[in-house]
Structure 1
Amino acid sequence: MYQRILVPVDDSHTSRQSLGEAVRFCQEQHATIRLVHVIDLAQFSWGGAEFVDVGELQTSLRQSGQKILDAAAAIVRESGIEPDMGLLEIWGGQTSQAIIDEAKLWRADIIVMGTHGWTGLDHLLLGSVAEGVVRHAPVPVLLNRSNR
């Protein structure tokens, strides 16, 4: 039914729970899994560049993102599945749109991701990547909410 499962990952408990669910789903469906992590390189492009090395900060962001992908891939490999991976770079855009664009480009059949379940002021201030994905995704989205 679902042969191409896209899994956005970060370094949260919720993301790890979703990854476990995606692995089980992948095993049941005999599917392919693609792990993605989104980094925003524009977050260090503000003024004050004379005090910091923006290129070094962006390199560090890329390295951190790759570590997150590598850790997620190790979990998937423990289940006997070889994942595809992608570090997605945006420049001040929306993380949710980067995930949606990747789902279209990779021709995903489903997106499996976590949601932190923020409400009220937290949701207003922090937004929701999951909500943006659900609203505009071209494919079904399976959300996993943290049980913490």
Structure 2
Amino acid sequence: MYQKIMVPVDDSAASMRALHEAIDLAKLCQATLRAVHVVDLAQFSWGGTGYLQSEEVRKAIESAGEKVLARTTDLLNHENIRHETAILESAGDKIANLIVDDAHANQVDLLVMGTHGFSGIMHALMGSVAEGVLRQADMPVMLLRVRKDG
């Protein structure tokens, strides 16, 4: 079955749903869970490189990512799951590419991701990292959809 399961994590409900599903699968398969958090440094460049090079901004972004991974690690320790964590940095790279490349480099055999299930104009504006991963990955990808009611 699966030996290494990867789940990208952030603070969203979709990510938390994916993390809990990945934990359940890791328990069933006695697999290692690789939790990654992507920090997109390009979102803070605002059309130039000045902000991107600011050490304070970079430290704040990394600190936020470390907090997400610390909470994830606490949960994985509590659930007694073998795990590893990593922060992946994007400086304008496609996030889907980073995730798939990291999965290959770390011999992941299942990707579990949450998706917000946007469609229409929201999908056009927001894009979909999950869709990009699904198109590129040559390993199984499990997408878990979370929709906000309202």
When normalised by structure 1's length, the TM-score is 0.92
- Residue 71, structure 1, aligned to residue 71, structure 2: yes
Secondary structure of residue in 2 paired with 1:11 = coil
Q: Which residue does the alignment assign to 2:119? A: 119
C-alpha separation between the residues in 1 aligned to 2:137 and 2:107?
12
Please state how far the C-alpha of 1:42 moved relative to its aligned partner: 2.3
Matches within 5 A, 1:51-130: 54-130=54-130
Secondary structure of residue in 2 paired with 1:56 = helix
% identical equivalent positions: 41
Q: Which moved more, 1:55-64 or 1:75-84?
A: 75-84
C-alpha separation between the residues in 1 aligned to 2:145 and 2:115?
5
Q: Which residue does the alignment assign to 2:146? A: 146
Secondary structure of residue in 1 paired with 2:20 = helix
Deviations 1:46-95 (A, max 9, x none): 34848x97221111001101111111121121111132000001110111
Question: Given that residues 104 and 138 in structure 1 are in contact (C-alpha distance below 8 angstroms), is that contact kept between their aligned partners in structure 2?
Answer: no
C-alpha separation between the residues in 1 aligned to 2:5 and 2:105?
13
C-alpha separation between the residues in 2 aligned to 1:74 and 1:4?
19
Query: Relative to 1, partners in 2 of residues 1:24 and 1:147: Cα closer, same or farther, differing over 3 Å?
Result: farther
C-alpha separation between the residues in 1 aligned to 2:38 and 2:84?
15
Q: Which residue does the alignment assign to 1:24? A: 24
Q: Which residue does the alignment assign to 1:37? A: 37
Superposition CA RMSD, Å: 1.8
Secondary structure of residue in 2 paired with 1:80 = coil
- Structure 1 runs (4+) deviating above 2 angstroms are 42-50
Q: Which residue does the alignment assign to 1:5? A: 5
Q: Which moved more, 1:25-34 or 1:74-83?
A: 74-83
Task: Extract unaligned runs of 5+ from structure 2.
Answer: none
Task: Extract unaligned runs of 5+ from structure 1.
Answer: none
When normalised by structure 2's length, the TM-score is 0.91
Question: Given that residues 117 and 147 in structure 2 are in contact (C-alpha distance below 8 angstroms), is that contact kept between their aligned partners in structure 1?
Answer: no
Question: Given that residues 44 and 54 in structure 1 are in contact (C-alpha distance below 8 angstroms), is that contact kept between their aligned partners in structure 2?
Answer: no
